[in-house]
């Protein structure tokens, strides 16, 4: 019996002094984390059609913010809990960065791209976007695609109520009362081509700020060429020849299935028309509106 306890003690001591059984997975975790850190820290220029160079003052707050998130990501020690216990760290090997699934298009409602950049580089404004496109076609990237910008605010699309966490925001330099320039739209199309390919964004998930926040927003304005975008594979558009919606088709339900929040139905209809029926932007559901909603509903 004495020999049994002696052997048991030696075996227990060997296990307690042995190597970490999770050492291999921790090594993989660390390796993946470093790879992802490199991805989100990358600020290399993206390949787009050749455009004129724009010189900007880079706010060092961006770098400070990035280090804050990096330090948070790399924190792997135990964390004390209120009940007196502490968490134990065992890193998983199955994780990645967030996947953007939407692209939200805005107009800046400001007077120049420089003004917008100043807005996005001041902490007190609490607003940002991934990209800003100037009237002259210049494209400025302000945040890595995999990080969360603050561009959408309160809004929803379908069951998604946190649009910022699943979207890329693109701001077009436009005050909301002017036609968008040809070179600006061409740069947008080039950028959308890249983003759609990089992140496999569904066609119907390229929408406007007004679509996700119909009671608050009207951008990217009545002048935005949604039809041109749809013709190039970015978003959907009603059929040229509309079929009559079935007699039992519920237009409000159709809007909800498309993605609109219909708690304020008139606002939802107005946002729909701002996108798809720019010749008559109002909150009225007439026969043409019902048939147009049905056309988009069938494309979901």
The angle subtended at Cα 41 by Cα 43 and Cα 189, nearest 5°, is 45
Q: How far is CA 38 from CA 73, 212, 245, in A?
A: 12, 32, 51
**Beta-carbon count within 10 A of 160 CB:** 16
Structural contact between residues 169 and 152, judged by C-beta atoms closer than 8 angstroms? yes
Q: How far apart are CA 196 and CA 200, in angstroms?
A: 5
Instruction: Give CB contacts under 8 A, 24+ apart, made by 44-47.
Output: 45/141, 46/141, 46/194, 47/194
User: What pLDDT sits at residue 267?
Assistant: 98
Q: How far is CA 163 from CA 120, 143, 184, 213, 298, in A?
A: 18, 16, 25, 10, 23
| E strand intervals along 87-163 | 102-107, 131-133, 139-141
User: What pLDDT sits at residue 130?
Assistant: 94
The DSSP line for 149-215 is -S-S-S--BTTB--GGGGEEEEEE---SSSPPPHHHHHHHHHHHHHHHHHHT--GGGEEEHHHH-TT
The angle subtended at Cα 265 by Cα 262 and Cα 271, nearest 5°, is 85
| Bridge partners of residue 80, in order along the sequence | 86
Name the residue among 102, 192, 158 with its Cα closest to residue 297.
Answer: 158
What tokens does 6 get?
Answer: 């002696």
The DSSP line for 11-38 is HHHHHHTS--TTHHHHHHHHHHHHHHHH
166-198: per-residue pLDDT in tens? 999 999 999 999 999 999 999 999 999 999 999
> CB-based contacts of 182: which residues, under 8 Å, 6+ apart?
none
Structural contact between residues 212 and 163, judged by C-beta atoms closer than 8 angstroms? yes
Active site residues: 171
Supply the pTM of this predicted model: 0.82
252-264: per-residue pLDDT in tens? 999 999 999 999 9
Per-position pLDDT tens, the chain of length 300: 445 444 544 445 444 445 677 678 778 778 877 887 878 887 777 776 453 443 434 456 667 777 777 777 677 777 787 788 877 777 677 777 888 999 999 999 998 999 999 998 888 999 999 999 999 998 999 888 998 999 998 999 999 999 999 999 999 999 999 999 999 999 999 999 999 999 999 999 999 999 999 999 999 999 999 999 999 999 999 999 999 999 999 999 999 999 999 999 999 999 999 999 999 999 999 999 999 999 999 999
66 membership: H or E segment, kind and range: helix 61-74
User: What pLDDT sits at residue 81?
Assistant: 77
67 membership: H or E segment, kind and range: helix 61-74
């Amino acid at each position: 019996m004495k020999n049994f306890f002696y052997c048991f003690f030696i075996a227990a001591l060997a296990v307690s002094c042995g190597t970490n059984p999770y050492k291999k997975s921790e090594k993989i975790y660390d390796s993946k984390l470093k790879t992802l850190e490199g991805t989100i820290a990358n600020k290399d220029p993206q390949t787009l059609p050749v455009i004129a160079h724009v010189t900007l003052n880079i706010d060092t707050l961006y770098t400070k913010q990035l280090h804050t998130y990096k330090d948070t990501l790399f924190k792997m020690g135990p964390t004390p809990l209120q009940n007196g216990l502490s968490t134990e760290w065992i890193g998983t090997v199955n994780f990645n960065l967030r996947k953007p699934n939407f692209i939200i298009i805005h107009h800046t409602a400001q007077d120049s791209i420089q003004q917008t950049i100043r807005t996005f580089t001041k902490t007190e404004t609490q607003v940002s976007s991934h990209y800003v496109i100037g009237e002259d076609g210049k494209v400025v990237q302000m945040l890595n695609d995999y990080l969360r910008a603050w561009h959408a605010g309160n809004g929803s699309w379908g069951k998604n109520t946190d649009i910022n966490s699943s979207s890329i925001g693109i701001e077009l330099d436009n005050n909301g009362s002017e036609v968008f320039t040809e070179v600006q739209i061409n740069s947008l199309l080039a950028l959308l081509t890249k983003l759609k390919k990089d992140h496999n964004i569904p066609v119907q998930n390229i929408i406007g700020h007004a679509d996700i926040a119909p009671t608050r927003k009207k951008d990217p304005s009545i002048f935005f060429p949604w039809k041109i975008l749809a013709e190039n594979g970015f978003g959907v558009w009603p059929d040229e020849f509309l079929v009559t919606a079935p007699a039992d088709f519920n237009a409000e339900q159709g809007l909800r299935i498309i993605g609109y929040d219909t708690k304020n139905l008139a606002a939802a209809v107005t946002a729909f028309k701002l996108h798809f029926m720019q010749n008559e932007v109002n909150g009225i559901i007439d026969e043409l509106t019902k048939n147009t909603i049905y056309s988009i509903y069938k494309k979901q």
